[in-house]
Amino acid sequence: MVAPVPTATYTGAMNHNLLGLALAGLLAAPAVAQTAPIDSKTQARIDRILKGTPLIDGHNDLAEQLGEYHDGAIAGLASGTAAWPDHPLMTDMARLKAGRVGGQFWSVYIDGTITGDEAIRRTIEQIDIIDRVIAAYPGDLERALTADDIVRIHKAGRVASLIGIEGGRQIGGSLPALRQFYRLGARYMTLTHNQTTEWADSATDDPKFHGLAPFGLKVIAEMNRLGMLVDLSHVSPEVMRQAISASRAPVIFSHSSARALNDHPRNVPDDVLALVPANGGVVMANWVPVFLSKAALERDAAKSAEEARLKTMIRNDTKAVAAGVKAWEGTHPAPPVTVADVADHIEHIVKIAGHDHVGIGADLDGIDEAPVGLTGVDTYPLVFAELIRRGWSDADLAKLAGGNVLRALRGAEAVAASMKGVPASMATLEPAK
């Protein structure tokens, strides 16, 4: 039976206040779910691979976390976040180094219900946070605008830092705003977030267009002209298919997993995975437990149902409802989701799309729980160790790490170069009816 879509599950970077509780629950998981340490021989092999090819993660929501819970403060990111015990982070400079991270797309996220000029302003504020983080830690981070920048910065021992805009509403229906975001460093844009927009259907909302509206096709064409990657995480399967067909450049899925293994709408169906090779795109596997595990998804749906029941039975008493939900959680522990589950999704993507079209988009600091052991940016080597155990070659591990993303970005750059004579689009969004 297909599990119902939970009403209170992952919402991008919206439930971070639960992070501490979620991680505490993971620490209490049964012993069978604990992650084995990496032996020295395997670690040496991982280090050799990631020295030659930068490990590029497709999606990290640090900026939203800092903006929403820490007033945009950027101090304390050198090593550990003990100063913020109520909202611990999954990211700091020491852990980036420990995780052998070579490149990071920093997500600039705002709630997908925000529209128009306010969406543009709030996106600029998120970009400002990333700018200030990069400036504050010059020994650890450096801005990257091209694939060659990523390679150069990685060789220098720093994390190449790019920006990804998480949601098409953030341009406020304005292609000039899209162009300015590119100028400010954005190198991908997710076409929707959790909400269907004025020009594209979301995977987690009612469809309006059964794919893309005409303006959505113009957005993709302008992104191709600029050299900005089209990100198809969060969009409906119809948008996925239409965007892959429309885009002259490789597309990415910055943080999505395989729907065949778990029928969550945020995952990518097999028929779409089969379209990716001809496009040259990359599907970057996510670490959200409810995306990875059917058992976790079903438990989350049951929790949402219990919360709805309590709200009906106990009106006007939010504390009592919260206490009831907490009691329910105590008798319905979360099933362990592990590194092996992440590896299963990676391998399924490879089975359908091939080794040339898979990457990692963990969504750290954008999730309220994580698989056992994968609780921060220091833990990427655990995924590589699991795949080594499964017999992966160095060449294929290097593709997963960042080789595929570098190729996709270079493809977008080449398309932009070929469109130099194409004027900037002056298309406008038709008023909503």
Q: Active-site residues: which are they? A: 59, 61, 166, 193, 234, 255, 363
How many C-beta atoms surround the C-beta of residue 407 within 10 A?
17
189, 147 contact by CB (below 8 A): no
Phi, psi at residue 162, to the nearest 5°?
-115, 170
Question: Secondary structure of the chain: what % helix, strand, coil (to 5)?
Answer: 50, 10, 40
Cα–Cα distance, 323 to 326 (Å, whole number): 5
Q: How many CA atoms lie within 13 A of 13 on its CB side?
A: 30
Phi/psi zone of residue 207: left (φ > 0), alpha (ψ -120 to 50 degrees), beta? beta
Sequence-distant (6+) residues with CB within 8 A of 248 are 224, 415, 419
Transcribe 203-247 into DSSP letters: TTS--SSSSB-HHHHHHHHHHHHHTPEEE-TTB-HHHHHHHHHH-
Cα–Cα distance, 102 to 371 (Å, whole number): 22
Closest CA to 229 of 252, 201, 248: 252
Q: How many residues does the chain have?
A: 433
Cα–Cα distance, 43 to 215 (Å, whole number): 48
